[in-house]
A and B are shown apart, each in its own frame.
Chain A
Amino acid sequence: MTMIKRASVVIVGGGIIGCSIAYNLARMGCKNIALFEKNSLASGATGRCGAGIRQQFGTEMNCILARESIKIFENLSQELDYDIELNQGGYLMLAYTEKEVNQFKKNVALEQSLGIDVRYITAEEAKEIVPPLNTEGILAATFCPTDGHANPFNTNFAYAEAAQRLGVKIYNFTEVKGIKTEGNRIVSVSTDKGEVLTPIVINAAGGYSGETGKMAGVEIPVYSQRHQILITEPVDPLFKPMLMSFSRNFYCQQTPHGSIIMGFGDPNEPKGHDIGTSWQFAREMAQKMTAAVPLLKEVSMVRQWSGLYNMSPDSQPIVGEHPQVKGFYMAVGFSGHGFMLAPVASQLMAELILKGRTSIPIDRLDIGRFERGDLIIEPSVV
């Protein structure tokens, strides 16, 4: 594909965020959109993620965004004409400490007030939902049956192909090298395949969004951090929901394919772009999950890998235009929740760019909140 000379919007990043924004902009009538991806689509955080989708959060902002995202996910295979393998087996959040019990009670009250179908349950009820669960140490749990997961590759490619059918030009293996501004306005983007004039750039570069910000001359307070994950061979269906614990620090789900995927966040993980793997992770992961679900001892791991969380100071995304650079929009810092929030975040981003206002208020997700000291602290993150 030959490089275009001029675009109305340039998107940096071909992950779920970039591709879903491209699709939503095109769907709402925007023409002449170009998307640049330095590798192949879904090669960064999206294709490496745990692919869970949950509405059980501790802040109103996250609950509302996730609730609306699930609604979009529920019709997405049809909307994009591509099976995204959505599986709503629920999320079972396990409380092992009194602190978690108190937090979960608060979360459930908040979630229910926002119309999310979630309930606070006993360890025995949790075992009815997940029969192989070891309930030792479990004080209580919460369960939301409409949470679940989808195939991140399929969802990413589904958005990309739907965007292309609407005229979006996607340039794979094309690396953005610079972003030019004049008088605090975006004027062009240079890549290793040529330069494109554009008044609007959307930073959807995930683990490299801080670096992309620097190209436009702005400091975005995000950092990247490796999160490791492993997957087992496919086995017969053992349990439907995603199992999750904050205090014991794990998440684990069985995909429709039969393989079981699991991960945890290492609190001592240094900041940076390392995406290597370690045997220490595999061992600790195996110890955590065989304790929680003992019959997993007999299941074999076949592969381990890692990807980058792009963290913001309050673990909430930064969505909006930069106040100092006209035309520089950001959809970054999703802090491990980019896949699940992409359907709604991309729609709101398209509304913001094309209409100047959004159907769900996201003013507080602006970058200015860090200077104002108006952080939205999410207590429920892995």
Chain B
Amino acid sequence: MKDETIICRCEDITWGEIRQTLEKGYTTLEEIKSITRAGMGRCQGTTCRRIILREIARFCHKKIEEIAMPTFRPPTKPVKLGTLAGDDDD
């Protein structure tokens, strides 16, 4: 994979940034998320989570099932504060 390849499309995080984080010794999805913001955008990692898990597994010579998943945090889809507050017409 090329360093310029975008892994997290919401936050514009490239494979190069993730590779450097792995090489520094941060090999959990939680750490990679905290350091690079990958998976913290609008889609909350729906797109990039599996790619990063696969690359962590490859980097650590482990099976993908052995890599810890990060915490899933609500909501499942973005929701307007106006809707949440209960005074929206949507």
Contact = CB atoms under 8 A, between A and B. Distances in A.
Interface of A: 40-43, 47, 153-154, 157, 161, 232-234, 257, 277, 279, 282-283, 285-287, 289-290, 296-305
A47 B42 contact: no
A41 B25 CA distance: 12
Given A282-B74, A300-B78, 20 more contacts: A40-B26, A43-B30, A153-B35, A154-B35, A161-B24, A233-B42, A287-B85, A287-B86, A290-B82, A296-B81, A297-B82, A297-B88, A299-B80, A300-B81, A301-B78, A301-B79, A301-B84, A302-B41, A303-B44, A304-B75
B73 interface: yes
B3 interface: no
- Which DSSP category, helix, strand, loop or mixed, fits chain B's interface? loop
A292 to B, nearest CB: 11
Interface of B: 24, 26, 28, 30-31, 34-35, 37, 40-42, 44, 71, 73-75, 78-82, 84-88
A9 B42 CA distance: 43
Contacts of B75: 282, 301-304
Contact of B34 (A47, A161, A285): A47
A244 to B, nearest CB: 18
Contacts of B81: 232, 286, 289-290, 296-301
A41 B33 CA distance: 12
A84 to B, nearest CB: 13
Contacts of A300: 78-81
Contacts of B40: 303
Nearest to A300: B78
A274 B74 CA distance: 16
Contact of B73 (A47, A279, A305): A305
